[in-house]
């Protein structure tokens, strides 16, 4: 480890980083993670660093290395994914490209050694042993229950999709060249040891993946070796490369990543379209046509006019109660993991218990798996248009397609905008009487709770 390290961003030296924490078994987490709540999971995930300290000093700023001398935690990490798991996974039917990449770093470039079609374990193991190839397994939470359990809780905690990849590299080999990613990265070392080098970002908080040439990245700002039970965090844009040392057994680590396309810029792009839509309905100036031939030749007058419109939108935004979301909330609900469960999945997504009525008291369930958003609605059949409240949830999402780029289906309900206050009552109360819901008629109250109950979003208490 170098004595001095530079944080991602301003290039000033601010002491040793990533912060290196060594935890003895007696004082560190010696049992599986705390799954009682999303915040409890994250606290135990980065223990002994406090959550407040992590977000104040490290998140999106600089790397953090936590080295733990804890045999119990190392054993737990090793259970998440092992080289030996590949034999049974291959028998289930996995495919090159979709599920597995086989690759090597050769002269600073990634060389892909994939075959065609289905992966056969003997061929995979041969490439691993003889060609010293790295095996990259995509989104193992689709198959490994404990990773599903961890990532589902982390999605609840961050409010953002959480993906993962496993990398298994033989001794004396490297799978990928120096590169940076567009995601916040948490590395868990599962088997063996991995030698890491981190470099000053060329693009802090990068929005895209990029390979960097060795002659451009300079000397490492941090260099260390991870062992089972260790955790490494670094922000998106951090240039990194890793190899398995000579003379040791293979290395297995899992990369857990989040916050892809989750910046303020992304949120602004998502929100602004709905804001313009709403403002144009109320202000004729936004409905007026653009000047003739504007698309053929730009002028400074147009920039001035657009600046005025943006100031008008900013003023309107200040007084907006409900921010419209075009895609981000819906996409998150559609593509995230379903709640972790053991047993019969049908019981999870089937209404249970007493049917709610006007005299019932109800409470929200699966709170962390439900989002409320306001958006435009237009029915082609009757030309009805206007804003509606959308309730999206992930109870029936498919685990086996998580983060795989498949087309996904949205699950949820749609209500008139006048239902928003009643929905917020349910969302913000530990339990509430149906009679007390802020809706005009008893019929509306009953229709609302029956719809939510049918989707398994509330239960009668």
For residue range 314-347, what is the model confidence (pLDDT) as tens digits?
Answer: 988 887 777 777 789 999 999 999 999 987 777 7
Provide the pLDDT for residue 382: 53
Alpha helices in 176-299, H assignment, sequence order: 214-217, 264-282
Q: How does pLDDT run across 34-54, given as a tens digit for each residue?
A: 999 999 999 999 999 999 999
13-27, 194-208, 222-236: range with lowest mean pLDDT: 13-27
Residue 4 — pLDDT band, cuts 50, 70, 90? very low
SS3 labels along the chain: CCCCCCCCCCCCCCCCCCEEEEEECCCCCCCCCCCCCHHHHHHHHCCCCCHHHHHHHCCCCCCEEEEEECHHHHHHHHHHCCCCHHHHHHHHCCEECCCEEEEEEECCEEEECCCCCECCHHHHHHHHHHCCCEEEEECHHHCCHHHHHHHHHHHHHHCCCEEEEEEEECCCECCCCCEECCCEEEEEEEECCEEEEEECCCCCCCCCCEECCHHHHCCCCEEEEECCCCEEEECCCCEEEEEECCCCCCEEEEEEEECCCCCHHHHHHHHHHHHHHHHHHHCHHHHCCCCCCCCCCCCHHHHHHHHHHHHHHHHHHHCCCCCECCCHHHHHHHHCCCCCCCCCHHHHCCCCCCCCCCCCEEEECCHHHEEEEEEEEEECCCCEEEEEEEEEECCCCCHHHCCCCCCCCCEEEEEEHHHHHHHHHHHHCCCEEHHHCCCCCHHHHHHHHHHHHHCCCEEEC
- pLDDT at residue 411, as a whole number: 93
Q: How confident is the model at residue 277 (pLDDT cuts 50, 70, 90)?
A: confident
Cis, bond preceding 18 (omega within 30 deg of 0)? yes
pLDDT, average across residues 402-409 = 90
The neighbour count for residue 262, using CB atoms within 10 Å, is: 18
State the distance between the two ends of the chain, measured CA to CA, in whole angstroms: 56
Q: What is the pLDDT of residues 207-229, one digit of tens each?
A: 999 999 998 999 999 999 999 99
Q: At residue 383, does pLDDT exceed 60? A: no
**pTM exceeding the 0.85 threshold for the entire prediction:** yes
- For residue 244, the number of C-alpha atoms closer than 13 Å in the C-beta half-sphere is 27
**Is the pLDDT at 285 greater than 50, yes or no?**
yes
């Amino acid at each position: 480890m170098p004595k001095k390290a530079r944080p991602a961003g301003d290039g000033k030296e601010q002491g040793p980083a990533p912060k290196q924490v060594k935890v003895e078994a007696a004082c560190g987490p010696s049992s599986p993670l705390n799954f009682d709540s999303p915040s409890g999971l994250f606290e135990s995930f980065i223990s002994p660093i406090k959550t407040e300290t992590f977000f104040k000093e490290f998140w999106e700023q600089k790397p953090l290395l936590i080295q733990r001398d804890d045999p119990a935690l190392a054993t737990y990490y090793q259970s998440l994914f092992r080289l030996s798991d590949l034999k049974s996974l291959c028998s289930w039917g996995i495919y090159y490209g979709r599920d597995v990449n086989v690759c090597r770093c050769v002269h600073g470039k990634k060389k892909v050694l994939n075959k065609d079609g289905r992966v056969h374990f003997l061929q995979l193991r041969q490439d691993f042993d003889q060609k010293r190839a790295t095996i990259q397994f995509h989104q193992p939470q689709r198959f490994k229950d404990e990773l599903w359990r961890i990532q589902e809780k982390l999605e609840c905690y961050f409010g953002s999709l959480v993906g993962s990849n496993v990398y298994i590299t033989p001794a004396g080999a490297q799978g990928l060249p120096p590169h940076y990613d567009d995601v916040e990265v948490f590395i868990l070392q599962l088997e063996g040891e991995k030698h890491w080098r981190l470099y000053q970002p060329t693009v802090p908080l990068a929005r895209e993946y990029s390979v960097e040439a060795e002659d451009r990245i300079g000397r490492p700002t941090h260099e260390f070796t991870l062992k089972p039970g260790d955790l490494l965090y670094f922000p998106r844009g951090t240039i990194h490369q890793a190899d398995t040392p000579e003379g040791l057994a293979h290395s297995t680590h899992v990369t857990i990543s989040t916050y892809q396309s989750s910046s303020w810029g992304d949120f602004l792009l998502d929100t602004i379209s709905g804001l313009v839509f709403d403002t144009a309905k109320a202000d004729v100036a936004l409905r007026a046509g653009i000047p003739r031939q504007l698309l053929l030749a730009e002028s400074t007058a147009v920039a001035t006019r657009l600046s005025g419109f943006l100031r008008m939108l900013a003023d309107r935004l200040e007084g907006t109660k409900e921010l419209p979301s075009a895609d981000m909330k819906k996409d998150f609900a559609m593509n995230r993991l379903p709640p972790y469960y053991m047993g019969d999945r049908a019981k999870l997504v089937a209404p249970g218990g007493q049917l709610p009525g006007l005299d019932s008291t109800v409470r929200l369930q699966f709170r962390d798996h439900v989002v409320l958003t306001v958006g435009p609605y237009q029915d082609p059949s009757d030309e009805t248009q206007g804003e509606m409240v959308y309730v999206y949830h992930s109870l029936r999402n498919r685990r086996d397609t998580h983060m795989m780029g498949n087309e996904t289906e949205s699950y949820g309900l749609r209500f008139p905008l006048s239902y928003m206050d009643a929905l917020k009552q349910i969302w913000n109360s530990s339990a509430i009487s149906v009679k007390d819901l802020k809706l005009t008629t008893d019929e509306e109250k009953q229709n609302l709770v029956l719809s939510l109950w049918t989707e398994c979003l509330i239960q009668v208490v």
